[in-house]
Amino acid sequence: MRIGDDLKNRPNGITESVDADAHYLAQLVDLGIALSAEQGREELHQKILMAARQFTNADGGSLYLVNKDETELQFRILMNDTLDTFFVSGRENEKPFPPLPLYDAAGNPNHKNIATYVALSGESINIEDAYFADGFDFSGTRAFDAKTGYRSKSFLTVPLKNTRGTVIGVLQLINARNDAGDIIAFDPAIEPIINALASQAAVALENSRLLMAQRDLMESFVRVLGQAIDAKSPHTAHHCEKVPIIARMLAKAAVDEKRETFSNFYLTDMEWYELDLAAWLHDCGKITTPDHVVEKATKLETIHNRIHEIRTRFEVLRRDAEIEMLKRKLASEDAQRCDADFNARIAELESQFSMVAHSNIGDEELDTDAVFALHEIGAQEWVRHFDRTIGLSWAENQRLTEDDRAKFSQPGVEKLLDDRRDQAYLGINRGELYNLSVPRGTLTSEERKIINDHVVVTQEMLAQLPYPKELQRIPAIAGNHHEKMDGSGYPNGLLGEDMGILEKVMVIADIFEALTAVDRPYKRPKMLSECIAILADMRDKGQIDGDLFDLLLSSGVYIEYGRKYLQPDQCDAVDITQFLRR
């Protein structure tokens, strides 16, 4: 039967012409277009219920959706003209109806409630008067009426079925009205129209669910990836988690700022989503960065801190000095002179080891004189007696030449600090003097490049993903967080004019988190005032966006973040007036 055919013979004479058919069909088409448009779930629920009430001239109605476990109907929205009522689930202090269980405690289907019966059976139910209906429990309806003074009479309850025929919700209409406003029964002739509407609504709801599920899946995957990168290194833990927090706070401050640079700046819901994903993904390339580089807390660290090996060599030199002193005494040399020479040698070795150990930390800049001194210290020799070619891994053996094997298998003289050829591995020079001579920090130039290359890897990884149009800026926002406004950043040397506001936000968010972090192995936690001073210096050098830096201070984002996420003793007083340009 064609939708609307039976309307021609309706006894109340509301419509008797084909024009009515066209009218209903046009409304259904318009509704289908409206429901297919992008919108929030609450707005979608409202459109469905309002359209159904309009078709039937119902005084009220409600919408329930089946939960994920398919165990209950969850209330979503209620409208009623007479009671001037509009309830939406989830709004604070507006939860008028609890979920309706589809099964009892024993697992039996709940057929007492009309809405649950329709959800379980997939059949529409049209009731002329609830107070005189058999087979259903309307005690809840009577209680509601007694409390509100309302009279619930006619009910039309229809299932919402998706394309697979599964019921995903229930639409319930209450109290149909005639042209005079009197309560009447729902005409059976209108049911095909409402069923068609319910079908369109179900498809729209299913599409909305699928889109939301895709979005949730993507967001969850992105967060899992970020958390995996954080978990990879206990020393950079929570970086991928905290950068999105700072980025969102600073972006919100820019949106709220109604003056000057940011007076016309705003973000749509999808742009906020884009920023969150980009912030979580900004360091995804670090998943390929070797652990021993990420974890390098001292200059001599590879998998472990090699200062312990060097200390053992100093112990050997000390023992050699002691043996030499005893031999001289046995040879009848002056005992006092022997002791004096030995004590002088111990003091020299202790001073030398102290310098090597201090240089290994990397928290202060190493000048040229110190580098020369390290080379002089390293030139000292000690005698090795044990075979250096045994107990090695297959990879270590591969790095030895035949000459190495012949030389290292026999006792020999070695230097206290050395840059042996076999210490180079995967493009990284692990030489002891080479690493100790790093001017500042713990990373060599090769290791620094490996660290920096995580941005390139990030960009390459993100460039391969098929983004929808609304998320196509993710690679740029995430991948340009090490660029600088003056072109000195990497990997592309962009200028400020080449970058959008969100990219500049990410630059500051990444630097601010790194400066304030308390879990870096190569530096002590900095005070908040120190971090702001460093950022101000970068602003003065033109490396970060000056307007965003001012906003970081004037909006209070810096202290709000500090109070929530930094150690209490880090949050010292900051006189922001000395840093603000205006």
Quick count: other Cβ atoms within 10 Å of Cβ 505? 28
Task: Give 364's DSSP letter.
Answer: S
E strand segments, 400-483: 412-415
Q: What is the pLDDT of residue 217?
A: 85
Is 470 a residue whose pLDDT tops 80?
Answer: yes
**Separation CA 51–CA 64 (nearest Å):** 16
Determine contact, residues 456/447, Cβ cutoff 8 Å.
no
Task: Tell me the average pLDDT across 247-264.
Answer: 91
Q: Sorting pLDDT into bands at 50, 70 and 90, what band is 474?
A: very high
The CA distance from 471 to 242, in Å, is 21
Q: With bands split at pLDDT 50, 70 and 90, how would you rate the model's confidence at 11? A: very low
> 267-308, pLDDT tens digit by residue?
998 899 999 999 999 988 888 888 778 778 899 988 789 999
How confident is the model at residue 33, as a pLDDT?
60
Please tell me whether residue 19 adopts helix, strand or coil conformation.
Answer: helix
Per-residue pLDDT, averaged over 419-447, amounts to: 84
Alpha helices in 379-443 (DSSP H): 394-398, 402-408, 432-436
Tell me, what's the pLDDT at 519? 65
Candidate from 236-240, 396-400, 512-516 with smallest mean pLDDT: 236-240
Q: Strand pairing of 72-80 and 58-66?
A: antiparallel
pLDDT of residue 321: 96
Q: Tell me which residue of 184, 257, 277 sits closest to 467, measured CA to CA.
A: 277
Tell me: pLDDT of 12 over 70: no
| Crossing angle (nearest 10°) for helices 501-516 and 239-256 | 130
Instruction: Check if the beta carbon of residue 577 is closer than 8 Å to that of residue 543.
Output: no
The average pLDDT across 230-259 equals 86
- Assess contact for 491 and 460: CB atoms under 8 A: no
Q: Residue 184 in contact with residue 154, Cβ under 8 Å?
A: yes
User: How far apart (Å, rounded) are the C-alpha atoms in residues 102 and 191?
Assistant: 24
Least confident of 206-215, 372-381, 492-501, 504-513: 206-215
**Tokens 């990420």 label which residue?**
294
pLDDT given for residue 146 in this prediction: 93
User: Out of 3-7, 240-244, 419-423, 466-470, which region has the weakest mean confidence (pLDDT)?
Assistant: 3-7
Backbone angles phi, psi at 218, to 5 degrees: -65, -45
Strands 381-384 and 412-415: antiparallel
β 125-127/155-161 pair status = antiparallel
Residue with tokens 């001017």: 439
Q: Name the pLDDT band for 4 (thresholds 50, 70, 90).
A: very low
| pLDDT score at 5 | 45
Which band of pLDDT confidence, cut at 50, 70 and 90, is reported for residue 15?
very low
How far is CA 486 from each of CA 164, 533, 540, 548, rounded to the nearest angstrom? 57, 19, 11, 15
State pLDDT tens for residues 101-154: 999 989 999 999 999 999 999 999 999 999 998 889 898 889 889 998 999 999
Q: If pLDDT is split at 50, 70 and 90, which confidence band does 3 have?
A: very low
Closest CA relative to residue 306, chosen from 431, 463, 164: 431
pLDDT per position as a tens digit, 319-352: 999 999 999 999 999 999 999 999 999 999 999 9
Q: Residue 6 has what pLDDT?
A: 47
Start-to-end CA span in the chain (Å): 74
* CA gap 33, 29 in Å, rounded: 6
Residues 429, 434, 435, 440: is their CA dihedral positive or negative? negative
Query: What rounded mean pLDDT belongs to the chain?
Result: 87
* CA gap 259, 180 in Å, rounded: 56
Going by C-beta distance under 8 Å and a sequence separation of 6 or more, which residues neighbour residue 167? 66, 118, 119, 120, 122, 159, 160, 161
pLDDT at 65 over 50: yes
Assign 95 a pLDDT band (cuts: 50, 70, 90).
Answer: low
Residue-level pLDDT at 398: 84
Model pLDDT, residue 42: 76
Q: Is the confidence at residue 91, as pLDDT, over 70?
A: no
Percent of the chain scored above 90 by pLDDT? Answer: 52
**In this structure, what DSSP letter does residue 415 have?**
E
Q: What pLDDT, on the 0 to 100 scale, is given for residue 171?
A: 94
Tell which residue, 15, 16, 21, 27, has the closest CA to residue 3.
21
Which of 22 and 61 is assigned the larger pLDDT? 61
- Tell me the C-alpha distance between 286 and 293, whole Å: 11
Q: Region 228-248: what's the mean pLDDT?
A: 82
Stretch 537-562: mean pLDDT: 95
Taking CA atoms, 382 is separated from 71, 316, 355, 418, 430, in Å, by 77, 7, 19, 12, 20
Q: What is the enclosing helix (H) or strand (E) of 176? A: strand 167-177
pLDDT higher than threshold 90 for residue 513: yes
Pick 396 or 501 by higher pLDDT.
501
